[in-house]
Amino acid sequence: MSDLQERAQALDTADELAPLRKLFTLDDTVYLDGNSLGALPRHVPARLQEVLTREWGELRIRSWDESGWWTAPERIGDRIAPIVGAAGGQIVVGDSTSVNVFKAVVAATRLAPGGRDEILVDASTFPTDGYIATSAARMTGHRIVPVAPADVPGALGPRTAAVLLNHVDYRSGRLHDLPGLTAAVHAAGAVAVWDLCHSAGALPVGLDEHGVDLAVGCTYKYLNGGPGSPAYLYVAERHQTAFDSPLPGWTSHADPFAMTPGYTPADGAVRGRVGTPDILSMLALEASLDVWDGVGIDEVRAKSLALTDFFLECVDAYAPGGRVTSVTPASHAERGSQVALSCDDAEPVMGALIARGVVGDLRRPDVLRFGFTPLYVGFADAERAARVLADVLAGTAAPAA
């Protein structure tokens, strides 16, 4: 057994979060793709069976009241709130991340002072955020200004209405300065919108503490809500009375069953709702969040950094020289919960890794991504992944220059 293998065992033995692994349905695979789809919590199938057979099968329409279906979007939002540093009553669950980005960006332009006609958008953002923001800009008469997150302070001005940023870059794993950038946006008189897809459930966010205006996020990554599980929308309490959704659906009406032709928005985060909640996936998400009971996000962050540090150390020790280079920042203050490695032959390398029981993913053309979910990934997983990666690289000829 190598020194790194022995260290991995010792670190796993000392890991206070290690017992959580048994709460998930996992096998001998090293699963490092929780930043795309989180693992299944073991108890979720039984909960869904109950929803299907009793709540839908027996109670049927009575379940909207008797089983709490109608209030699920706000109830589940309140369970997500402490994970992202928000007080209750500010998060509503429903729709996809893309739909919530649209709501948030348009609403942000309506919250901003009059006469402003620019929306700054993260130039390195996940593509759909840019697509949605561009469409929102066309509809609202604004101009899109793509800018690197680090350059946002210098790009802000009296024309800036809103700024849409990703907390963690989906390709590189770079963590952006949410507190500092939010403060800069506010100093310019604009509204800050954050996409938390790659940070919620992996590291502290501090939405309330840092004065974020609006935020969106998915629940199928580090929150383990299941494929296509509903996203969420955060509307800071101070903005709720002025929040003007571009999608004023019937379930966000102050009296939805009055069925009146005129729209009167509900109070609070409820006005972020649109249509009928997607109950099956929403209740699967609610059950999945049980694994967070008693877990502190600071503990999760500490383990995340330790895991990614250890994985990078193992890669450096094992991998053939010059075959991979980390594009994830070494600084803890700038790192999310993934490691991205530049590799000229990334696609065949990842295919070989998966065939040998190490599951990550890739972003074309040359990025290998490894996501570290601290609730179920251990240090032995990190060591094994690096060792298998080294074997694959050693057995795969480097592309011709």
CB atoms within 10 A of CB 146: 15
Name the one residue in this structure whose structure tokens are 């509307």: 235
DSSP letter (8 states) at residue 41: B
- Tokens representing 2 are 């190598």
Cβ-proximal residues to 56 (8 Å cutoff; 6+ apart), any chain: 63
Q: E strands, 258-386, where?
A: 325-326, 338-342, 358-359, 361-363, 367-371
Q: Is 126 an annotated catalytic residue?
A: yes
Q: Does residue 103 carry a catalytic annotation?
A: no
Residue 99 amino acid letter: V
Which of helix, strand or coil describes residue 146?
Answer: strand
Structure tokens at 169: 């870059």
Considering the candidates 31, 126, 243, 379, report the single residue annotated as catalytic.
Answer: 126
Six-digit token string for 319? 């991998």
CA distance 359 to 352: 10
Q: Which two tokens stand for residue 362?
A: 């890739």
Q: Which two tokens stand for residue 353?
A: 């890794």
Asked if 194 contacts 165 with a C-beta cutoff of 8 angstroms, the reply is yes
CA-CA-CA-CA dihedral for 16, 17, 19, 25, to nearest 10: -170
Which tokens in the block code for residue 372?
């570290």
**CA dist., res. 278 & res. 73, Å (int):** 9
Active-site residue, from 24, 102, 220, 234 = 220
CA distance 387 to 315: 7
Cα distance between residue 390 and residue 232, in whole Å: 39
Nearest to 214 by CA among 109, 117, 300: 109
Catalytic residue flag (residue 318): no
271 is catalytic: no
Q: Which of the following is catalytic: 303, 369, 384, 387? A: 369
Please list, in sequence order, all residues whose beta carbon lies within 8 angstroms of the beta carbon of residue 62, skipping any fewer than 6 positions away.
none
Q: Is 220 annotated as catalytic? A: yes
Catalytic position from the list 15, 95, 195, 213? 195
Which residues are catalytically annotated? Answer: 126, 195, 220-221, 369
